[in-house]
Amino acid sequence: MNQMLAMRVFRCIVEAQGFSAAAERLDTTHSSVSRNLQQLESVLGVRLINRNTRRMSLTAAGERYYTACVDILDRVDAASQAVTLEQERPSGLLRISSPLVIGTLELARWLPAFQERYPDIQVDLSCSDPLVDLVADGFDVALRICGPLADSSLVARLLSVSPLVLVAAPAYVFKRGLPRGVAELNDHRLLTYASATQWVLVGEAGESSTVDCASSFHTDTITALHACALAGGGIAAFTLATVQDDLLTGRLVRILPEYTLGQRHYYALYPHARNLPAKVRVFVDYMAQYYGARN
């Protein structure tokens, strides 16, 4: 027996004041209504309705059960309506895990417009470079910048592919000059990130050259690397997406623009695609549109 259905049938019998009227409201047969009530009474072990050929009335147990049914069914319907409305109008708390570079250097470009478009979504952003356990740590979605992603149980949507480029501040270039080839990088101050000891530069024809990084500045945070580059500390490597605004405004300039240090992939990761919450769906779509437009 479907007890929830039987409860709805019982409620309808009471409110329609009869079996035939209830069957008409429910678009079913008199016998189906009667069978649901009989099964419900059998499971409960009590008579809910006294009935004969002319009239029906609730028993004392039936009155109590009717009151409980109304409360339970109204709560269930309200919960279903709330979920449906959330799917139609994205809302609620959206927990995002992001690498530091996005949270500190790129967030200001996309977050205000996203919140303007979806004012009912509250963003909770956690910035750390190691990949978190989305399910165990309670995140809805993670943004990641890396090489091609290995297989995992997570759903991965590729947002963008951005080349890794060399840049420096105009003040640095004014003092030290522009390197005219890869070999001349050895005569410059190089700023490195994480465990980098070499740069492998790839030319437009696909040729590659390796530069040993005798770094004059090394850091494990991309924000410090960015600050040092802006201050004229030397030549550093960033994804084009990260420094695009700096290049457009002249705060940084490309070094050896005919070369890149490979590519980095921007991904949105989430636990599953089936019945994806609207708040996650619109965020991932928004990020795909944002980064796609910057390619």
pLDDT digits (tens, 9 = 90+) for 67-87: 999 999 888 888 877 776 666
Q: Where in the chain do CATH 3.40.190.290 domains reside?
A: 163-263
Q: What's the mean pLDDT in 7-31?
A: 89
Residues of the chain with pLDDT > 70: what percent?
Answer: 96
Per-residue confidence (pLDDT) for residue 76, from 0 to 100: 87
Distance CA 131, CA 146 (A): 11
Per-residue confidence (pLDDT) for residue 159, from 0 to 100: 92
Q: pLDDT band for position 124 (50/70/90)?
A: very high
| Range of 74-78, 196-200, 254-258 with top mean pLDDT | 254-258
Strands 191-193 and 217-219: parallel
Is the model's pLDDT at 2 over the cut of 80?
A: yes
φ/ψ (deg, to 5) at 132: -85, 165
Domain 3-85 -> CATH class? mainly alpha
Q: Where in the chain do CATH 1.10.10.10 domains reside?
A: 3-85
Q: Which amino acid, one-letter code, is at 3?
A: Q
Q: pLDDT band for position 152 (50/70/90)?
A: low
Identify the sign of the CA torsion 203, 208, 209, 214.
positive
Distance CA 229, CA 170 (A): 10
pLDDT in tens, 128-145: 887 788 888 889 999 998
What is this structure's pTM?
A: 0.68
Per-residue confidence (pLDDT) for residue 214, from 0 to 100: 78
Residues of the chain with pLDDT > 90: what percent?
Answer: 52
Per-residue confidence (pLDDT) for residue 55, from 0 to 100: 79
Query: Nearest Cα to 191, choosing from 251, 232, 162, 157?
Result: 232
Distance CA 290, CA 286 (A): 6
Is the model's pLDDT at 149 over the cut of 70?
A: no
Q: What dotted CATH number matches 163-263?
A: 3.40.190.290
Q: pLDDT band for position 287 (50/70/90)?
A: very high
pLDDT in tens, 216-250: 889 988 999 999 999 999 999 999 999 999 999 99
* DSSP track, the chain: --HHHHHHHHHHHHHHTSHHHHHHHHTS-HHHHHHHHHHHHHHHTS--EEE-SS-EEE-HHHHHHHHHHHHHHHHHHHHHHHHHHHHHS--EEEEEEE-HHIIIIIHHHHHHHHHHH-TTEEEEEEE-SSPP-TTTTT-SEEEEEESSPPP-SSEEEEEEEEEEEEEE-HHHHHHH---SSGGGGGGS-BEEETT--EEEEEETTS-EEEEE---SEEES-HHHHHHHHHTT--BEEEEHHHHHHHHHHTSSEEESTTEE--EEEEEEEES-STT--HHHHHHHHHHHHHHHHT-
Per-residue confidence (pLDDT) for residue 57, from 0 to 100: 87
Per-residue confidence (pLDDT) for residue 229, from 0 to 100: 96
Is the model's pLDDT at 150 over the cut of 70?
A: no
